[in-house]
A = this chain, B = another copy of it.
C-alpha cells in the first residue's frame, strides 16, 4: 500500500505526549502514513502570530489535506484568534463529528447505554467572529446562519447516519426565539430529511433537547445542530459517557479534514506521563477510515477497546473496583500495541 501523506501537529501541554503515543500505535498497527510535521499553538502565538500557525503550515495542510492535530494552548489575554476556528474556516471544515460512547462496565458512567454522535455545524453561527463594541457599554456579536451552510452539514449528518447504519437523526434548534437563523436550520432539516425516508427524524428545542441529552442520552443516535449548541452538547456528551479524555472528533470539509481530541491541552498535566491519549487515538481511527485504511482503523480500535476492557486505565478513568491497573500515557500506548 502506498503511504498517505498527512500533516501532524504536536500542539501544547499534553499534546506532544498523546501525539507520540498515538503515532507509535498507528505505526505498530501498520498504518501507511507519510508524516509532515508543522508547528502550531502557543509558541507560534508568542512569536507574534495572531493565528497560532506558522505561515508554511498552510502549504502542508493544502497539500496533504489531512491533519492530525494535538490540542493547543492559546496564551492568556491579547487579541489571539482561536486557531481551531481559523483552521476550520480556512479549510472549509463544515462538519464536526463527535461520537460519545459509554464503555460500561469498563469505564464508569451513569449512562451505560449511550452511543451518540453529535454532528456540529463548524463554520457559522456566533463563531463567525463578527463582534463590535457599539457604544461604551453595548456589545454585539453576530450569529450568522446560511441556508447552504445548514444544508451541507445536515446532508452530511443524514449520509453519515445511513453509511454507519444509524436509525435516527435529531435536530436541536431554538427557533421559537430565533425564527430566522435557527428557523432556516430547522427548515433545511425537514426538507433534506425527506430524502432519507429510511431514517427517523425528530427536532427538539435546544433547552429541552439538552435536558434530555443530559438525563437520558441513550435515547439519541445522531444529533445535528448549529455550531455553538454543538460545542456545548458535545462536551456534555463526552463527559457523561465517561470522560472527555475518550472523545475524538473529525472535522470534515469538501477538500480537507482535521482530526483531533475533543479535550484541551491540559497544561497542569503536561510532561507528567499522565494524560489519556484515547481521545486523539480515536480521532486517528476516524482519520484512518477517512483516508481509506479501514483495516488498520479496525485493528487500532479493537486493540484500544481490549486495553480498556482489560482495565488498563489512565488516571482519569481509573476507578477502584473497575480498573485493573493504573498506567501512564506511555504504558497505555504499549498496552494497546501489545494487543494489536
Contact = CB atoms under 8 A, between A and B. Distances in A.
Interface of A: 74, 79, 82, 85, 110, 126-127, 129, 131-133, 136-148, 174, 176-181, 183-184, 206-208, 210-215, 228-229, 231-232, 234-236, 238-240, 244
Contacts of A210: 210, 232, 235-236
Contact of A145 (B129, B139, B212, B238): B139
Contact of A184 (B74, B139, B177): B139
Given A138-B147, A140-B145, A211-B239, 18 more contacts: A82-B176, A126-B174, A126-B178, A127-B177, A131-B180, A133-B180, A137-B147, A139-B144, A139-B145, A141-B180, A143-B143, A174-B228, A207-B232, A207-B234, A211-B236, A214-B239, A215-B236, A236-B236
Of A74, A131, A139, A239, chain B has the most CB atoms within 10 Å of the CB of A139
A161 to B, nearest CB: 24
Given A144-B139, A178-B126, A215 B240 contact: yes
A168 B168 CA distance: 41
Contacts of A79: 179
Of A147, A213, A236, chain B has the most CB atoms within 10 Å of the CB of A236
B139 A180 contact: yes
Contact of A148 (B137, B215, B238): B137
Contacts of A138: 144-147
A232 B177 CA distance: 13
B235 A180 contact: no
Contacts of A184: 139
